A and B are shown apart, each in its own frame.
Chain A
Amino acid sequence: MAEFLNNYGFLIVTVVQQALLGMSLYYPLSAGQLSLASPGFYALGGYIAAIIGTAELFAPWRDLLGKAVFPLEWIIAGVASALLSLVIGLPALRLRGIYLALATIAFVQIVRVISLNLSITGGAIGIFGIPQLFESRWGYIWIFGPLLAATLLFTWRLEQGRIGRAFRAIREDELAAEAMGINPTRYKAQAFIIGGTLAGVVGAMSAPFLNTWNARQGTFDASIAYLAYVLIGGTRSLWGALLGAALLATLPEILRPLNDSRLIINGMVLVIVSIYLPQGIVGALARLRGAGKKKGVPAGGKT
């Protein structure tokens, strides 16, 4: 067991962490909005945790709070990300489709450029030697695991109720949703803020986990990776991001013995899944299960 965790502990925690980041992109998507802003909030949350964890300025906090400084970092990162999501989201969500995607990529780039140029974020070098919450990498499962469980539960409940229905209505037909009394701006913003807040909190938890934090944490590549989790796993189910992250984050490891050709196989899996399973893995499973019964499978579980 100890050896297994030694070998795979980091990978398992990474899958959970990546699944959470995929989820952060799933919320806006469930309201029909293609936002790639998550890495920006993830970077912000990470810097907040890294700065509180290392800067001289916060030494009194650390001395006073001990390990309790970590939850405080998560809360501050969450609140800061929520506020920033609101400020960014309201103007950006006026844009539709690919234009929103482009605006959110621009946001990620802006966060990156700012972090490269500020001294408090350590410039190009970033922040290293971030104090640890656990002795081992595997220990971090005790924060990422419960966060994932809570997030899935939250999402499941959300999707069964009034707010989740409003998200779906906007995704299906924004104009009809409006004519049915739903304020699209409000719910698009809510979905965006939920996603941004989650990404920020995950960032704050990840800074100690990764030990260093720099401008490479929030990049366009990351945006695409998170989007791939959701697309591969399935955009219409809360399990999609988890499945997608599990597949895409472990595949390179499983294929490691193949050396260079693993990247090709990795890419091929992406292409094949997107061509043959347009609803993602979850969609395909649901279709298999429902093949006999000719019943509708509404996004987000039971109606």
Chain B
Amino acid sequence: MTGLLDVKGVSRCFGGLKAVNDVSFRVEKGEIFGLIGPNGAGKTTLFNLISGLTPVSGGILSYDGVPLNSLPPHKVARLGIGRTFQNIRLFKGLSALENVKIARHSRTRAGLWGSVFGFPASHREEQEVKQRAGEILALVGLDNRADELASSFSYGDQRRLEIARALALEPRLLLLDEPAAGMNSAEKHGLTQFIREIRDRFNLTILLIEHHVPLVMGLCDRIAVLNFGELIALGPPAEVQKDPSVIEAYLGGD
């Protein structure tokens, strides 16, 4: 295996708070990599650093050999890093289909005049966007509700729609921030299957934040544990589970 995402000594401070403190790890191609840790450990912040929404305070992030540090979020996305949000950030006032179509933006090229005059290339592209978006919605089982507003979906369906939107970007690295939050146990089980399925189907590498321990243990190839911004353990699920510092962090003993 070769590395896809390289995190080297990465830090991020908010005022005096070190939300992410000198964290290093490498995510290999094709891996499902779990990121866990107590509330406020810095997991979401690390996602924001990778996707360019928050600038790093120090360290180096690189993706497939390309440094990410000074790239704006839209360029990071273009490189093939898709993500979902812990607090679900769908385009709520738009239909499910539109949500997915929008993510085709960086994989399409039509400009202002191409769109307006419907040049053949733009027209063909538009047909493709529609078809692809439909296929991806079908993949998450929402194709029969394509025209409904995103805001009208249940919590679990919104999470699935958000994954669909991220997939439409054609990412190679997919960042999922607590994808199972708010799902019932049947939905959680389905999600585990689904994540494996899309990994295989699209040759994805997946970086996943999740609180639900059985899901993480069952799904991930390797796990990194953050606590107060620091990486306290890294390895296969079985090893990490036994790590005394992880047990301490989770039980909150001091």
Interface: B111 (CB within 8 A): yes
CB closest chain-A residue, reference B171: A181
Chain B residue numbers with a CB within 8 Å of A179 are: 51, 53, 73-74, 77, 82-83, 85, 89
Interface: B192 (CB within 8 A): no
Chain B residue numbers with a CB within 8 Å of A272 are: none
Is there contact, CB below 8 Å, between B103 and A180? yes
Is there contact, CB below 8 Å, between B147 and A296? yes
Chain A residue numbers with a CB within 8 Å of B107 are: 181
Query: Which one of B101, B103, B106 has the highest number of Cβ atoms from chain A below 10 Å of its Cβ?
Result: B103
CB within 8 A of A165: which of B78, B98, B111?
Answer: B98
Interface: B90 (CB within 8 A): yes
Interface: A266 (CB within 8 A): no
Minimum C-beta distance from B118 to chain A (A): 7
Minimum C-beta distance from A297 to chain B (A): 8
Minimum C-beta distance from A193 to chain B (A): 10
- Surface stretch bound by B, among A72-80, A133-141, A167-175: A167-175
Minimum C-beta distance from B112 to chain A (A): 5
Q: How many A-B residue pairs have CB under 8 A?
A: 122
Is there contact, CB below 8 Å, between A163 and B53? no
Interface: A86 (CB within 8 A): no
Within 8 A of B (CB), among A134-173: 154, 157-158, 160-166, 168-169, 172-173
Please report the C-alpha to C-alpha distance between residue A182 and residue B74 in the assembled complex, in whole angstroms.
5
Is there contact, CB below 8 Å, between A181 and B95? no
Interface: B122 (CB within 8 A): yes
Is there contact, CB below 8 Å, between A157 and B165? no
Interface: A183 (CB within 8 A): yes
Of the four ranges (under 10, 10 to 19, 20 to 34, 35 or more), the interface on chain A belongs to 20 to 34
B: number of interface residues (CB 8 Å): 47
Within 8 A of B (CB), among A161-207: 161-166, 168-169, 172-173, 175-184, 190
Please report the C-alpha to C-alpha distance between residue A169 and residue B114 in the assembled complex, in whole angstroms.
19
Within 8 A of A (CB), among B82-119: 82-83, 85, 89-95, 97-98, 101-112, 114-118
Interface: A299 (CB within 8 A): yes
Interface: A298 (CB within 8 A): yes
Minimum C-beta distance from A162 to chain B (A): 4
CB within 8 A of B115: which of A157, A177, A296, A298?
Answer: A157
Chain B residue numbers with a CB within 8 Å of A165 are: 98, 101-102, 105
Is there contact, CB below 8 Å, between A178 and B53? yes
Chain A residue numbers with a CB within 8 Å of B122 are: 161-162
Is there contact, CB below 8 Å, between A163 and B112? yes
CB closest chain-B residue, reference A295: B147
Q: Given known contacts A165-B102, A172-B92, is B110 in contact with A180 (CB within 8 Å)?
A: no
Interface: B135 (CB within 8 A): no
Within 8 A of B (CB), among A105-151: none
Is there contact, CB below 8 Å, between B102 and A296? no
Please report the C-alpha to C-alpha distance between residue A177 and residue B82 in the assembled complex, in whole angstroms.
12
Is there contact, CB below 8 Å, between B148 and A295? yes
Is there contact, CB below 8 Å, between A158 and B83? no
Minimum C-beta distance from A226 to chain B (A): 23
CB closest chain-A residue, reference B88: A176
Is there contact, CB below 8 Å, between B94 and A178? no
Please report the C-alpha to C-alpha distance between residue A172 and residue B102 in the assembled complex, in whole angstroms.
11
CB closest chain-B residue, reference A296: B149
Is there contact, CB below 8 Å, between A157 and B102? no
Chain A residue numbers with a CB within 8 Å of B111 are: 163
CB within 8 A of A162: which of B53, B77, B115?
Answer: B115
Chain A residue numbers with a CB within 8 Å of B116 are: 154, 157-158, 161
Is there contact, CB below 8 Å, between B147 and A168? no
Is there contact, CB below 8 Å, between A183 and B72? yes
Within 8 A of A (CB), among B104-159: 104-112, 114-118, 122, 125-126, 129, 146-149, 152
Subset of 11 A-B contacts with CB under 8 Å:
A161-B115, A162-B126, A163-B115, A173-B89, A175-B89, A178-B72, A181-B103, A181-B107, A295-B148, A298-B95, A303-B94
Instruction: For the complex of A and B, list the 6 residue pairs with the smallest distance between their C-beta atoms, beginning with the closest.
Output: A161-B115, A181-B106, A296-B149, A181-B77, A172-B91, A176-B89
B residues contacting A by CB (< 8 A) are 51, 53, 72-74, 77-78, 82-83, 85, 89-95, 97-98, 101-112, 114-118, 122, 125-126, 129, 146-149, 152, 165, 169
A residues contacting B by CB (< 8 A) are 154, 157-158, 160-166, 168-169, 172-173, 175-184, 190, 294-296, 298-299, 303
